[in-house]
Structure 1
Amino acid sequence: MFVAYLTVTIFASVLHGSAAVVYLIGHEFPKAQADMKGLPRSWVPVLGTMLAVGSLGLLGGLAVPMLGTLAAAGLSLYFVGALLAHLRVGSRKLVAWGGFFATALAALAANLAYHWS
């Protein structure tokens, strides 16, 4: 079970961490997404920081289990908010969202199964 937990946690951390980097370096894609969803561009670095904190929290959870649980739950909630932002403007382009959300949920499930069962 540890290998599955470790694999899912590291994968989720790398995936969400890479998204955080894209948001934080000022890449055009997150700005275009913010425009499409009607969000101010000033939110892009904040959203990137939230992704980065979640990614680092997943890794921190390897040492402090509660931190990993909270990070995975926080990332899951982040992507629930992203879904609501998509639906609010009528966007149905949810494939990438689904991958990120599923990964966050998988990290949460693996964490709960390994540490709290």
Structure 2
Amino acid sequence: MYLAYVVIAVVLSLVLVLSAVPDLTRDPKITDGLKAIGVPDSWFLPLGLVKIAGALGLLAGIVYRPLGIAAAIGVVLYFLGAVITHIRGGDTKGIGIPATIMLVAVAPLVLGFATA
């Protein structure tokens, strides 16, 4: 189970960093859609930094499991908020990616507890 945690933590960390780049660079392909559902322009930098913090926390959890568990909880809650934001903004087409990442983030949470 430890190996499964490591693999999922590394893959999810890569996904989080790749997801943070458009927020940090304010890529219009991403930010325009988020602005349309009510995400203020001033939130993109903090949201990108939170994703990077989650990625770093998951990677640190390979060595210190409580930090990985905390990071996984944070990532699940972050993407739960993203799903809710899409629903409230009426963007049902945009729910798939954050919902998938949220569900994937449950795996290191469960594995983190199982291997702690």
TM-score by length of 1: 0.90
2:111 is matched with: 110
| Alignment partner, residue 101 of structure 1 | 102
Between 72-81 and 95-104, the greater mean CA deviation after superposition = 95-104
Aligned pair count reads 115
Who is 2:4 aligned against?
4
What are the residue-to-residue correspondences of 1:1-117 with 2, within 5 Å? Answer: 1-93=1-93, 94-115=95-116
Compare 71-80 and 98-107 and name the one that shifted more: 98-107
Is the contact made by 2:22 and 2:31 (CA closer than 8 Å) also made in structure 1? no
More helix by share: 2
Q: Distance in 1 between matches of 2:115 and 2:26?
A: 37
Shift in Å at residue 59 of structure 1?
A: 0.5
Note closer, same or farther for the CA distance 1:29–1:112 as it changes in structure 2 (3 Å cut).
farther
Q: Distance in 1 between matches of 2:40 and 2:2?
A: 41
Task: Give the RMSD, CA atoms, in angstroms.
Answer: 1.3
Structure 2 CA distance, aligned partners of 1:44 and 1:33?
12
- Which segments of 5 or more consecutive residues in structure 1 lack a partner in the other structure? none
8 A Cα contact 2:16 2:55, kept in partner: yes
After the TM superposition, which parts of structure 1 deviate over 4 Å for at least 4 consecutive aligned residues? none
Residues 69-102 of structure 1 show CA distances to partners (whole Å, capped at 9, x for unaligned) of 1100001000111111111122212221222111
Query: Helix, strand or coil for the counterpart of 1:42?
Result: helix
65-74 vs 30-39, which deviates more?
30-39
Greater shift, 94-103 or 45-54, is seen at 94-103
Deviations 1:24-79 (A, max 9, x none): 12212331132121121110111101101001110011121111111000010001
